[in-house]
Amino acid sequence: MDYREIKAKSVDEAITKACIDLGIISDRLDYEIIQEASSGFLGFGAKDAIIRYREKPIIIEDKEIIEITETKVIDNTGYDLNNLVSVDDIEARAEAAAKRDKELGIEPVEKKESRDRDNKRGGRNRDRDNRRGGKNRREGGRDRDRDSRRRKASEDVARMGGKIIKEEKPHEPSQPKPQRKVSAKSEEQVAAIKETASTFLKDVFKSMDMDVNIEMNYDQAEGCLECCFDGDDMGILIGKHGQTLDSLQYLTSLVVNKGQEEYIRIKLDTEDYRSRRKETLVNLSRNIAYKVKQTGSAIALEPMNPYERRIIHSALQNNRDVETYSEGEEPYRYVVVTLKK
């Protein structure tokens, strides 16, 4: 299969997109990093990550395959077949050694009966040792395979932005929050909310020397003010993993909810970042769930804001093998994915 190239905001996101494109899990992905992502200086000169990828080919081992070169013949165990000694050669050497001993007058010390008896005992001992050695080799092979799988899983998890937890703390699985009751706002109240948010955001963009168009819509059912931005260099507003956009959203929420009797949600978005980020997190959660099932160990993801943690919880809520819960204090609170008890 030929290599393809894909571009994304980070290497992790590019790997996730590649897995989605091929319809495989990350274990089956063969990729090479062409360009690392760079945030530039204050958002200027930012570069996307680029990777070349394809699905790993399936290799079928054939133990009877022999490699033939001009100078020697080598089997798949690595032995040089040209230097092997045949049974006839061994018997000829033994007869020559016995003839030489006879000419020199050297008599064998052991009797045939005792030699046969010792040979039988030695044979039994060798058989027993071979059985034990075979068992030890099998157990050692299983241990090495298990360690190799765990090491590979740890590398994959680290690449996806998580880490394996060896010892878990007592926890309660995440439960869906009760639906928030929202009362309808009048047109005057909605207009006042929009005016407050618009004034604050325009002052921020003016201080940043940015020309940004703002479109606002208030969702009465959710009690949420949605603000969409449009303009040049929107990557500056998004920041790494949306951190700048999240911070601006938090500050806008503080300004809008000051003096309000009922909490109003604020959602800031640009270039459909929220939708793309949600798709990335859903695919990440599925890969993490597969790794947890494969290794049997819990995995802690990188710290996320409450909105992104809810996406992970919702994506794995109906998974029959794993469950999720949150740990830590804001802003370093993170999601842990573990096997169901």
Superfamily of 187-272 according to CATH: K homology (KH) domain (3.30.300.20)
Q: What is the pLDDT of residues 102-126, one digit of tens each?
A: 776 666 555 444 455 555 556 566 6
* Mean pLDDT over the full length of the chain: 77
CB contact at 8 A, 247 and 255: no
Decide: 30 and 23 in contact? Cβ < 8 Å.
no
pLDDT of residue 108: 59
Instruction: Confirm or reject CATH 3.30.30 for domain 4-55, answering yes or no.
Output: yes
Q: Return the pLDDT at 161.
A: 59
Q: Quick check: 287 pLDDT over 80? A: yes
Q: Rounded distance, CA 302 to CA 83, Å? A: 57
User: Which tokens in the block code for residue 109?
Assistant: 């010390």
The per-residue pLDDT for 253 is 93
Task: Tell me the pLDDT tens digit for each residue of 42-76.
Answer: 666 778 889 988 888 765 444 443 343 333 444 44
Residue 306 pLDDT more than 70?
yes
More confident residue, 255 or 295: 255
Residue 148: per-residue pLDDT:
62
Counting Cα atoms < 13 Å in the Cβ hemisphere of 273 gives 24
1-49 pLDDT, tens digit each: 678 888 888 888 888 888 888 878 777 788 888 888 887 766 667 788 8
Angle at 36 between CA 32 and CA 39, to 5 degrees: 160
pLDDT of residue 328: 87
Task: Name the class of domain 149-174+275-339.
Answer: alpha beta
Q: What is the pLDDT of residues 258-267, one digit of tens each?
A: 988 889 999 9
Label each residue of 222-250 as H, E or C.
CCEEEEEEEECCHHHHHCHHHHHHHHHHH
Q: List b or e across 79-113, with b for residues whose CB sees 16 or more CB atoms inside 10 angstroms.
A: eeeeeeeeeeeeeeeeeeeeeeeeeeeeeeeeeee
Q: Once rounded to an integer, what is the mean pLDDT over residues 222-228? A: 92
Residue extents of the structural domains in the chain? 4-55, 149-174+275-339, 187-272
